[in-house]
Amino acid sequence: MKFRQALLALAAGAMLAATPVQAAQLSIVSGDTGNGLQVLREILDQFEKKTGNKVNIVPMPSSTTDQFGQYKLWLAAGNSDVDVYQTDVIWAPQLSNQLVDLTEATKDVVAAHFPSIIESQTVNGKLIALPIFTDAPALYYRKDLLDKYGAQVPKTWDEMAKTAKMIMDKEREAGNKDMWGFVFQGNAYEGLTCDALEWIKSNGGGQIIEPDGTISVNNPQAAKALEMAKSWIGTISPPGVLAYQEEESRGVWQTGNAVFMRNWPYAYSLGNGEDSPIKGKFDVAPLPAGSGEGARSAATLGGWNLAVSKYSKNPDVAIELVKWIASPEMQKYRVLKTSNIPTIQALYDDPEIAKAQPIIPRWKEVFLNAVPRPSAPTKVKYNEVSSQFWTAVHKTLSGEGSAADNLADLEVSLTKLQGAGW
Ligand code: GLC
């Protein structure tokens, strides 16, 4: 008996020694597009192996709007089941009160990231999320089809629409009945705010609300830009585009049924995947410019970060996890598999990345010149601003009222929302 007890004690001791003192069970919540969640799991497996801690993914729908609604509720309720949130670049000012200040814990690593991205996640001097990838969209085009019909890569929206129509018509005549000219994100959600900001900014119509807080969206160039997009619906874009988010657009594009697509860089590696019908048949270019005074190419700045909940029971391990996922090694791992744009400056000179994902070195300039949504000037009211904006745009695209009328109404309601100040 004594011998047995001694053996048991020994076994228990051995188990204790094998288990790291701080072994923790964490949860990270993430909605992502494409293969994002799968790659996150692979990154977490490496963390578990290295540290002995366990991390569970709480999967979310890929719509950032749906995620935001849910996270706000959880945080307001002081939910301690979620330790780490994957956060959109626009959320920092709205969620900052419920997230841990990472400034001190990350001071050894922040300098490796682009300063503008770190700044976008800093609220009142506190770093509230550490970036894991940035985002700036591209015009995806079918190289093979443009070559077949002797067309150039479009530099303006007009050229894009004409080329889209020409190729779509010819392909349909040739029996390719499902072919469309252009797919984008037309659903009533944050993605439409991104797309419509690009149409407006590229036509010299401003940024909805300017960095100084001025509501600028009710202007003739902005109205012209929305009418331009409306003219695509049912002609070069399927009527169903009014319900498309990123993944629906990619679905049409990746099955080979669109000449052009507006989407984020994640679609690049997936389009070139082994099982992709369009592998090797497409390339990317900056989005087209509009026309008139101030016309330029405009890409909306996106991106994702990791934040630690104030209600986490394991904030130290959670911070360690955030630093791991955001590290140069793991950003490299991610970009090789997902073509998400890194936030670590040195990775743009990495030959392995440039070879596997040639979009990356080409996209540095695009994202550095990308247009931010007005989340900084409108602070905690951004979500409401954006939702009023995408609603006005969606109505216009659906034929409910003219762009000019909808923008005039939008200006009235944004002014009310602004009240005494943002
Ligand atoms: C991408 C961007 C994100 C944006 C979202 C809109 O995920 O990175 O910033 O809000 O698209 O759908």
The model's pLDDT over 74-98, given as tens digits with 9 standing for 90+, comes to 999 999 999 999 999 999 999 999 9
Pocket probe for ligand 1: among 264, 268, 301, 382, the residue whose CB has the most ligand atoms within 8 Å is 264
Ligand 1 atom with the smallest distance to the CA of 135 is 8
Query: Which of 5-14, 311-320, 345-354 is predicted with the least confidence, judged by mean pLDDT?
Result: 5-14
The CA 303 to ligand 1 mean position distance, Å, reads: 6
Decide if 3 is inside a domain: no
Range of the structural domain that residue 243 is part of: 138-300+372-419
The whole-angstrom separation of Cα 26 and Cα 45 is 13
The response to whether residue 192 sits with its C-beta less than 6 Å from ligand 1 reads no
The response to whether residue 302 sits with its C-beta less than 6 Å from ligand 1 reads yes
The response to whether residue 386 sits with its C-beta less than 6 Å from ligand 1 reads no
Mean pLDDT for the stretch of residues 11-36: 76
Decide if 52 is inside a domain: yes
Decide if 6 is inside a domain: no
Neighbouring C-alpha atoms within 13 Å toward the C-beta of 105? 20
The response to whether residue 303 sits with its C-beta less than 6 Å from ligand 1 reads yes
| 222 and 295 belong to one structural domain | yes
The whole-angstrom separation of Cα 141 and Cα 288 is 12
Residue bearing tokens 């697509």: 261
CATH number at residue 67: 3.40.190.10
Q: What angle do CA 162, 167, 168 make, to 5 degrees?
A: 95
Res. 1 pLDDT band, cuts 50 70 90: very low
pLDDT for the residue 269: 97
The whole-angstrom separation of Cα 49 and Cα 326 is 17
Decide if 344 is inside a domain: yes
| 396 and 257 belong to one structural domain | yes
The total of structural domains in the chain comes to: 2
The response to whether residue 264 sits with its C-beta less than 6 Å from ligand 1 reads yes
pLDDT for the residue 224: 98
Ligand 1 atom with the smallest distance to the CA of 301 is 9
Atom 9 of ligand 1, nearest CA residue: 302
| 349 and 413 belong to one structural domain | no
The whole-angstrom separation of Cα 117 and Cα 140 is 25
| 233 and 356 belong to one structural domain | no
Mean pLDDT for the stretch of residues 334-344: 97
Amino acid at 198: E
Pocket probe for ligand 1: among 190, 247, 268, the residue whose CB has the most ligand atoms within 8 Å is 190
| 342 conformational bin, left if phi > 0, alpha if psi -120 to 50, beta if neither | beta
| 242 and 385 belong to one structural domain | yes
Q: Is the pLDDT score of 7 beyond 60?
A: no
Mean pLDDT for the stretch of residues 241-254: 98
| 218 and 257 belong to one structural domain | yes
Mean pLDDT for the stretch of residues 199-208: 98
Q: Euclidean distance between the first and final Cα of the chain, in Å?
A: 74
Strands (DSSP E) found in 68-137: 84-88, 122-123, 126-127, 130-135
The whole-angstrom separation of Cα 207 and Cα 222 is 9
Decide if 24 is inside a domain: yes
Atom 3 of ligand 1, nearest CA residue: 302
- Token pair, residue 257, equals 């049924």
| 147 and 285 belong to one structural domain | yes
Q: Is the pLDDT score of 70 beyond 80?
A: yes
| 333 and 252 belong to one structural domain | no
Res. 194 pLDDT band, cuts 50 70 90: very high
Mean pLDDT for the stretch of residues 107-134: 97
The response to whether residue 135 sits with its C-beta less than 6 Å from ligand 1 reads yes
The response to whether residue 132 sits with its C-beta less than 6 Å from ligand 1 reads no
Q: For residue 421, how many other CB atoms are within 10 A of its CB?
A: 7
| 108 and 124 belong to one structural domain | yes
| 48 and 191 belong to one structural domain | no
The CA 183 to ligand 1 mean position distance, Å, reads: 16
| 290 and 393 belong to one structural domain | yes
The response to whether residue 137 sits with its C-beta less than 6 Å from ligand 1 reads no
pTM of the model: 0.94
Q: Is the pLDDT score of 211 beyond 80?
A: yes
Residue pLDDT, tens place only, 364-404: 999 999 999 999 999 999 999 999 999 999 999 999 999 99
| 246 and 346 belong to one structural domain | no
152: which residues sit within 8 A by CB, 6+ positions away? 146, 159, 163
Decide if 80 is inside a domain: yes
pLDDT for the residue 413: 98
pLDDT for the residue 360: 97
Atom 6 of ligand 1, nearest CA residue: 191
The response to whether residue 92 sits with its C-beta less than 6 Å from ligand 1 reads no
Decide if 1 is inside a domain: no
Decide if 2 is inside a domain: no
Atom 1 of ligand 1, nearest CA residue: 302
The CA 336 to ligand 1 mean position distance, Å, reads: 20
